[in-house]
């Protein structure tokens, strides 16, 4: 009888964490998603992949100031480039990257700003990050897109406010 009880407790000791762990993770997910607003880059519209370079805002790749301290970077990915490959903003800026691909699936990884997004032909990706510190922040394509995939990168240059 005593042996039976011991076994049961031993099993319970394993069962409780196996329930608590997924429940805890689900709670953490809810807190980060709804409390801290941390989420996956969303699909922000569609664009004809064959006419990307003729479609606004991608017909004018570059950075525009949309409000004081807030910028939009219109970014086109293609084999094997980012257009523009260099994005300049002043320190303390909030930058929303509005990006798409004009040919195959590319990636957009900017680790220092915690950005990890896919750029799909036909789909617009929007992702926002803050750049509070002066410096150069490289971004790169992290979806294999062909023979020169490894050359596909660019940088965000955060300049001091004068």
Q: Interface with ligand CUA by CB under 6 A: which residues?
A: 80, 106, 141, 143-145, 149, 152
Q: Whole-number minimum distance, CB 81 to ligand CUA, in Å?
A: 9
Nearer to ligand CUA by Cβ, of 47 and 145: the residue is: 145
Nearer to ligand CUA by Cβ, of 71 and 143: the residue is: 143
Q: Whole-number minimum distance, CB 123 to ligand CUA, in Å?
A: 15
Cβ atoms of 57 and 49 within 8 Å: the answer is no
Nearer to ligand CUA by Cβ, of 10 and 144: the residue is: 144
Nearer to ligand CUA by Cβ, of 105 and 113: the residue is: 105
Q: Whole-number minimum distance, CB 119 to ligand CUA, in Å?
A: 8
**DSSP string across the chain:** -HHHHHHHHHHHHHHHHHHHHHHHHHHHHHIIIIIS---PPEEEEE--GGGGGGSTTTTS-EEEEEETTEEEEEEEEETTEEESSEEEEETTEEEEEEEEESSS-EEEEEGGGTEEEEE-BTEEEEEEEEE-S-EEEEEE--S--STTGGG-EEEEEEEPP-
Q: Whole-number minimum distance, CB 142 to ligand CUA, in Å?
A: 7
């Amino acid at each position: 009888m005593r042996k039976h009880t011991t076994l049961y407790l031993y099993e319970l000791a394993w069962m409780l964490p196996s329930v608590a762990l997924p429940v805890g993770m689900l709670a953490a997910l809810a807190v980060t998603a709804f409390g801290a607003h941390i989420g996956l880059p969303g699909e922000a519209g569609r664009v004809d992949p064959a006419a990307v370079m003729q479609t606004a805002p991608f017909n004018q790749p570059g950075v525009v100031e949309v409000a004081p301290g807030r910028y939009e970077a219109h970014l086109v990915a293609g084999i094997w480039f980012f257009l523009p490959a260099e994005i300049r903003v002043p320190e303390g800026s909030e930058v929303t990257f509005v990006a798409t691909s004009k040919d195959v699936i590319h990636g957009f990884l900017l680790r220092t700003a915690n950005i990890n997004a896919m750029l799909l032909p036909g789909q617009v990706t929007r992702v926002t990050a803050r750049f509070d510190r002066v410096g150069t922040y490289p971004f790169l394509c992290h979806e294999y897109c062909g023979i020169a995939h490894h050359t596909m990168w660019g940088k965000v240059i955060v300049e001091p406010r004068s």
